[in-house]
Structure 1
């Protein structure tokens, strides 16, 4: 069997260099010195830590396709709020999002045809949360968080859009 892990092997080599250059003390505990969680898309074009000027330990980052507030995002955020004193949440969508272009019914049909056994699997997604308007999607995710009783006492839950072309992050309320 040929090696199909060429990229993974390169990432592990890169990690060796990272370990050699890493500053001592960057793993001093699970917390967020800025008491902030960023919820954003998993799109690999978004280097959110760089775009916000974050350093290790300053903020938790939760990523998924479409920056959707799913059960798992609520689970992760609840843990961060209860154990790390999180007070602020930034929901950051982005332009040119694949989930914003997704034809969900067609995608589900394609999956069912390609993987008929997947329909019966416990972890098969039933919803991919497709949307057509990035601003409306971010507003919806912010509202979902604001209406959740676990997050009523946070000092700030705000929404933003990252422009893939420029890297600019804009407040959805401006």
Structure 2
């Protein structure tokens, strides 16, 4: 059985063709030119480069559901700190986040209710206490000897665009 739909990716490939026709980033180094790494949510309302007035090449962006620090995020930060010029790390949670609407079991229930998919037991990282989750993630990174960078915790308001440092 194929996962391809009749439309497939044609609209996105057409968008890429428009993007590539004016592409201006050839030769941009792979290091974070501004020394920044951002861990934030996969929410499509968040544009990490724009919210920080950064541009292509300035930062490493790592996205997870809820902007949580996962083992893969830590791996990315170790590489970023030791090879890619990262010396500042922002962990950014945001208002009205779906991952703050319940715990892992409640999010799994919502997924099952939405389309019947069973993901109970999966580590999703959901938490109704965003402040505690952000504190935990920032503390986790600050305690990691392999992540030697300045680390801050922030809250982004999706309705105003304002980013506030909380840790």
Instruction: State the TM-score bracket (shorter-chain normalisation).
Output: 0.7 to 0.9
Partners of 2:89 and 2:152 within 8 A in 1 = yes
Instruction: Please give the TM-score of this superposition, normalised by the length of structure 2.
Output: 0.85
Q: Quick check: 1:160 aligned with 2:154?
A: yes
**Correspondence for 1:126:** 122
Alignment map for 1:79-94 (pairs within 5 Å):
79-94=79-94
Unpaired segments of 5 or more residues in structure 2?
Answer: none
Q: Quick check: 1:72 aligned with 2:72?
A: yes
The change in CA–CA distance for 1:102 and 1:8 in structure 2 (over 3 A counts) is farther
Unpaired segments of 5 or more residues in structure 1?
Answer: 120-124
- The separation in 2 between residues aligned to 1:130 and 1:24, in whole angstroms, is 36
- CA drift at 1:52: 1.0
CA RMSD after TM alignment: 2.4
Instruction: Please give the TM-score of this superposition, normalised by the length of structure 1.
Output: 0.82
How many residues are aligned here? 162
Partners of 2:90 and 2:154 within 8 A in 1 = yes
Q: Quick check: 1:137 aligned with 2:138?
A: no
Deviations 1:85-110 (A, max 9, x none): 21110011100000000342244466
